[in-house]
Amino acid sequence: MATTSYSQLHRCTPLSLSLPSLCSCPCRPSPSRTLVFTRTSAKLGNFDLFFDGNRRPLGLGRNGILARRRALTAVARAEPKNLGDDNANQEVHKGHKLSSNEDVVSEHQQKASQLKKRIFFGLGIGLSVGVVVLAGGWVFAAAVAAAVFVGAREYFELVRSHGITEGMTPPPRFVSRVCSVICALMPLVTLYRGQIDVSVTSASFFVAMALLLQRGNPRFAQLSSTMFGLFYCGYLPCFWVKLRCGLAAPALNTRIGAAWPILLGGQAHWTVGLVATLVSFSSIIAADTCAFLGGKAFGRTPLTSVSPKKTWEGTIVGLGGCIATSVVLSRIFCWPKSLLSAIAFGFLNFFVSVFGDLTESMIKRDAGVKDSGSLIPGHGGILDRVDSYMFTGALAYSFVKTFLPMYGV
């Protein structure tokens, strides 16, 4: 028998043995790996010594028969496993793909449902507000008082939220409730007394006294947040009552008033206050709608960090819609007579409504919430719907009362 040394065994010539398939059947795929063998050049009698690609001995047999059998067996055993792994990976990939598709479809369905709710309740609120504005008097004042009460409750809940209480001490709950009631009474006092300055001053004094005499250690943050609540939720909305019910001069040039039924007040029902309120409300609604649609279609540049979803493109579209609505309604109601006054009134409504919206967004951002409440499906709370009107009533009243008489209507 021939012998060979250890060094002779390592002087070998590599021999690549590729086994692409075990049969010629097209339904049986090739294995994913190719086994490579090396065969020594030294002879051990009539035996050949085979190694795999990692220099591990694979087998020893006469003329390599035993080694080849073992190689074929190893490939046959490895192939089903590889095929199973591939099938499993494909199934997992398909599962992830189906799951992601379902998530996308579910998200689209949620957005569509949210948009339908927003449109449905928006139209309902718009029609209801239109009827209330046309009715005027105690109906309008009572509706404002109800909205003020709910808005004040939402405001004081925002003040008590975790995001704001980290940096300040909120007012006691009994003070918040008393302030909400006082805010709700302010529009009614404005309707029947005409002026509310003395009432607001008296209410502020009693609230400050209650805060200073409370148990524990009174904080300035409690006083400041409470006083702003009285001003923001109570005093500012009263100007809408003063605008709608206080400006009782008849709008003589309004054509709609001439055809208005006598049972509903006749032509005398159409006053400057009614026309100014309708134009202002309609302009703000048009501004919000056009800004929303314009931002969705063209929005690219953020307007401010206070409200990241607002864009300059949407703001410009909203401004155009607000001014256009003001001009069109001024032609319909024949008030104001001057085109320049109608444009100025539309610009004022838009400018003030945007900053009113941003003010409420700042409060919600500090509170760490998306909506002030959940009273109106698809819209959030009352404050989310009336934030654009908070400061607008005061400046619209000042514009009509002071600016227009100076330069003509």
Residue by residue, pLDDT tens for the chain (409 residues) are 444 443 443 444 444 444 444 444 444 444 444 444 444 444 444 444 444 444 545 444 444 444 555 544 554 454 444 445 555 556 555 555 556 666 666 766 776 777 777 787 778 888 999 999 999 999 999 999 999 999 999 999 999 887 787 767 888 888 999 999 999 999 999 999 888 888 888 889 988 998 888 887 888 888 999 999 999 999 999 999 999 999 988 887 888 887 888 888 888 889 999 999 999 999 999 999 999 999 999 999 999 988 888 999 999 999 999 999 999 999 999 899 899 999 999 999 999 999 999 999 999 988 888 888 888 877 788 999 999 999 999 999 999 998 888 665 6
pTM of the entire structure? 0.72
- Please report the pLDDT score of residue 266 as a whole number: 84
Instruction: Give CA–CA dist 319/10, Å, rounded.
Output: 86
Instruction: Give CA–CA dist 252/278, Å, rounded.
Output: 16
- Please report the pLDDT score of residue 29 as a whole number: 46
| Cβ-contact 109, 103 below 8 angstroms | no
In whole angstroms, what separates CA 349 from the centre of its chain?
Answer: 24
Reference 2, options 42, 58, 57; nearest CA is: 42
How many Cβ atoms from other residues are within 10 Å of residue 119's Cβ?
Answer: 11
In whole angstroms, what separates CA 151 from the centre of its chain?
Answer: 20
Q: How far is CA 402 from CA 337, 394, 395, 409, in A?
A: 16, 12, 10, 11
- Please report the pLDDT score of residue 31 as a whole number: 46
Instruction: Give CA–CA dist 115/100, Å, rounded.
Output: 23
- Please report the pLDDT score of residue 34 as a whole number: 44
How many Cβ atoms from other residues are within 10 Å of residue 203's Cβ?
Answer: 22
How many Cβ atoms from other residues are within 10 Å of residue 240's Cβ?
Answer: 30
Beta strands 47-52; 57-62: pairing state: antiparallel
